Amino acid sequence: MGQGAGVPTPTIRPGLTPSPTRSLKLAGPDAGLYIADETSTAVYKVDYRSGKVLWKYQFRLKHPSSFGPYALTNYLLVQQGYVFIESQNEVVYALNAATGHLAWSYVFGNNVDLVRGQVNPPVLDHGILFIPGLEYLPDKTNPRNLSKFPQDRLYLFDAQTGKLLKTYQIVRGFTINDGVLYTSDDEGGPIQAINLKNGQVLWQKIIPGEFFMAPFLLKNRVYLRANNQYFPVSNHKILNRYKSSLYAFDATTGQQFWHSPGTISSGPVFDFPISEETIVSGVIGEGISAYDAATGHLRWSRKMPFTGDLHAEGNTLYMTFDPAGANETWGYPPSDPFVPGIMSLNAATGSLIWQKMIITQLAGDLHSDSILGFLVHKSILYIQRSTQVKDHQTYTNWTTAMDPGGKVLWQINLGGFADGVLVP
């Protein structure tokens, strides 16, 4: 068991009050496609209509890390005139979205890892930027003088100035809404709602035996997915299985509305709230299902070789797939080494609209070219893909704009493993 069973304890720093307006002033036009390029270790803003690069911000570290002299991007968040960047080098950046100029940066010590964004991304709320992380406490018995087992942390920054306002301890999965912090714990700890102004716990739930992923909110309900991993033995073979259920609570009182019947799958179930009325849930390699958000009732289900990336626009779902069947995965969130295709479904019925193979494998290499991620806007797909060069050792990353008919509108040699962000 981790420390999730305790109440998150804030470490308060002077000046908890965020910027006086309580919200960010618009620093400039946000509209554009924001891409973190792994090869050049830079962030680009691109005109999503033409593919023209509008600006570039190059990461340069004063103290190079084991990754080299540049910062590698974990996650991009673009809101209210700023581009917030969580890097693998324990640096948080804020750029002016209009110009690409650095607004501020914050460098953590070597005892902090900003890796929680892979499970729970940063959040901006009421002028405060919430960044999850892991802190290694001092331990003189280990070679690095740091403990082997890090502690979960949630760091709160003034989004305009970069000032660290507070550190919450023992926070794993989380979401924010109107000054309330909702937390979960994937090691069996409590579900909590905490008033961020005074630190008061508004309500708390402990459900024995459930290990919860990060919460999400629709209307005045907070939803949490329990993914409980276990390892049954069949024919002398150890299997990897998950028992999963979705819970819905009143966000104000914590009253439980419903929870779905437990399902068994070969991988963790993860959820995509595509509207305030519908939640789509998926398992890599098995398929996706749509549920009524108010009641939890199943609307439709479709078996398909889903590979983990899904977006909704209007009444259409877009998702990646592998016709050869996705590999079973052990971690969370799940990932697949080869993602060749994208399909679209009717969000109301689950019926197929179209499917396309975007990537062609190199002969003899099952894990060569792959879709890294994609976005959709007005039915145009913006696809990040990786293309292996002839030496089979290095890759070239591309971002391609493609219309529903498969016509390439533009293409640039940029992209990487951090999700792009499109602001229309």
The predicted structure's pLDDT at residue 2: 34
Give the pLDDT of residue 110.
79
Residues 155 and 251 in one domain: no
For 119-169, how does the pLDDT look when each residue is reduced to its tens digit (9 = 90+)?
Answer: 688 999 989 999 998 888 877 777 676 777 888 889 999 999 999 999 988
Q: What is the pLDDT of residue 136?
A: 86
Q: Considering the domain boundaries, does residue 325 fall inside one?
A: no
CA end-to-end span of the chain, whole Å?
Answer: 44
d(CA 325, CA 32): 34
Supply the pLDDT for residue 24: 46
| CATH assignment of the domain containing 143 | 2.40.128.630
Question: Is 292:299 a contact under the CB 8 Å cutoff?
Answer: yes
CA separation for the pair 271, 290 (Å, rounded): 10
CA distance 280 to 143: 46
Q: Is 206 in the same domain as 120?
A: no
pLDDT of residue 4: 35
pLDDT at position 81: 92
92 and 41 together in one domain: yes
Please indicate, yes or no, whether residues 190 and 161 belong to a single structural domain of this protein.
no
pLDDT score, position 68: 54
The domain that contains 198 carries what CATH number? Answer: 2.40.10.480
For the chain (424 residues), the mean pLDDT of every run of 10, in chain order, is 41 39 49 88 93 91 54 83 88 94 90 72 92 84 74 92 91 89 82 92 91 92 93 87 94 96 89 95 93 97 92 95 66 57 96 90 61 93 82 75 94 85 90
Are 109 and 4 contained in the same domain?
yes
Cα separation, 348 vs 367, in Å, equals: 34
Distance of alpha carbon 288 from alpha carbon 270, whole angstroms: 10
Residues 91 and 27 in one domain: yes
Q: Sheet of 408-412: strands edge to edge?
A: 370-377, 380-388, 395-402, 408-412
Task: Give yes or no: residues 72 and 210 share one domain.
Answer: no
**Domains contained in the chain, number:** 2
Instruction: Output the CA angle 351-355-357, nearest 5 degrees.
Output: 160
Whole-prediction pTM value?
0.86
Residue 89: inside a domain: yes
Task: Say yes or no: 12 and 158 in one domain.
Answer: yes
- Of the residues 112, 146, 171, the one at which a domain ends: 171
Sequence letter at residue 66: S
Q: Which domain holds residue 7?
A: 1-171
Instruction: Judge if 66 and 186 occupy the same domain.
Output: no
